[in-house]
Amino acid sequence: MIELLPFSLHWKELLTWYFTPRSDGVRDVWRGRKGDVIVMRLSRPEDGPRIQQMVRDLSLQSRYQRFFYPVHELTPDMIERFTANAPGKAMNLVAAVSEDGHDRLVGMAQYVVGDVPGEAEFAVVVADGWQREGLGRRLVRGVVSLAREAGVQRLGGDVLADNEPMRGLMLELGFRLTRHPDGAYLRRAVKEIGVRGRG
């Protein structure tokens, strides 16, 4: 259920959003702990520069935890993947806040269906200033919902073994953590998300 803002803060817009059928990719709207209105929606082609800027602004540690190497600039191919949505194949969620009338992205998550039928990989990243605010939890739940709607039965992802906040989040959301075949520095997070694995 959406958490409405106090009436002094855009309540008409939120009421309109809540009772209007969505056709713009918006999946959720809520007020963050800092008081900002956060919109979780599907990414759009015009989000490319915003995604690039969000990655540039990440700390070295956050970039490494997301990409497993200290990437600073996304390649054109990566930006295209993060802004193109194909239901049943790959979907991208972004979390946006408004600054001076423009969206600023503060989080991103996606799933990509692989070669094994019914299985998909997921990943999530949250801007440094927005971590430990519950944003990652909402993004992962959003990706789980999108993948389930597409018929995905099992969702999996790789987590650095020393990324304790992410490991804790995975366990909290019902993922199983196991040793990774590629080495001790990784953990494999897997969750059954079909009808029997809901939750």
Q: Is the dihedral of CA 169, 59, 66, 130 positive or negative?
A: positive
Who contacts 69 (Cβ-Cβ below 8 Å, separation ≥6)? none
> Looking at domain 11-197, which of 3.30.300.30, 3.40.640.10, 3.40.630.30, 3.40.190.10 is its CATH number?
3.40.630.30
Residue 8 has pLDDT above 60, yes or no: no
Q: How confident is the model at residue 195 (pLDDT cuts 50, 70, 90)?
A: low
* Predicted pLDDT at 64: 93
Distance CA 31, CA 155 (A): 28
Distance CA 93, CA 91 (A): 7
CB 186 within 8 A of CB 161: yes
Domain segments of the chain: what residues? 11-197
Who contacts 175 (Cβ-Cβ below 8 Å, separation ≥6)? 189, 190, 191
Task: Calculate mean pLDDT across residues 60-67.
Answer: 94
Distance CA 111, CA 90 (A): 6
- How much of the chain, in percent, has pLDDT values that exceed 70? 85
Q: Show the tokens assigned to 161.
A: 């073994």
Residue 7 has pLDDT above 50, yes or no: no
Query: Is 0.75 surpassed by the pTM of this model?
Result: yes
Distance CA 24, CA 176 (A): 33
Residue 4 has pLDDT above 50, yes or no: no
Distance CA 132, CA 138 (A): 12
* Predicted pLDDT at 25: 85
